[in-house]
Structure 1
Amino acid sequence: MAMRQEEQSKANCSEVARLRQSISDEYLAAQRGLYGLAQTARHDFIQARLQGVERHYIELSKLIGEEQAIDTVIEINDTHAEAQRGQPQP
């Protein structure tokens, strides 16, 4: 029984890591859409990226709870925002 719980815990950790990476990827894509070489992004593209963040947040909240999922999304957003502050703006 303890082994099964350990396996489940490892699976949850892997899923949380995958979702964190997916959220980060969505923010990065949205950032590139705003500040990338094209310097213009269609509203639909940015909206789709943020809807992706929302989908991943919902999955994440089922694994770790709403409050911790919100904190995770904010942390990832802040990391991307901080990285963007160091970049020249168009």
Structure 2
Amino acid sequence: MGICGKSIDVKLAEDVIATKDCMSMAMLIAIDQHKKKVAMFLNDYCDPNSEYDCDRYWILIHELSKETKKFENYRKKSGLTLLRHRDVHFVFPINE
């Protein structure tokens, strides 16, 4: 997948992630590229005990729930677990 059938190269994906912008990283998930890098960012950068960090990246934490297990307490406390059980998503694959 990708944009117009093109792949996003690693350098561009890293530049997007370096912005620390939640919605830009969500676009990488939407085009089904570099999900692992986004999950690595969350697991390495975001403190699961910081409500500020978790609230800032809640969409990514929700969409990547299988890849970001260390945020389970936040999911329970914030209600994201309920959304996951009801299969609610906010980032959808971009189909060309």
| TM-score bracket for this pair, using the shorter chain length | 0.3 to 0.5
Larger RCO of the pair (alpha carbons < 8 Å, separation 6+): 1
Identify the structure with the greater helix proportion.
Answer: 1
TM value normalised by structure 1: 0.33
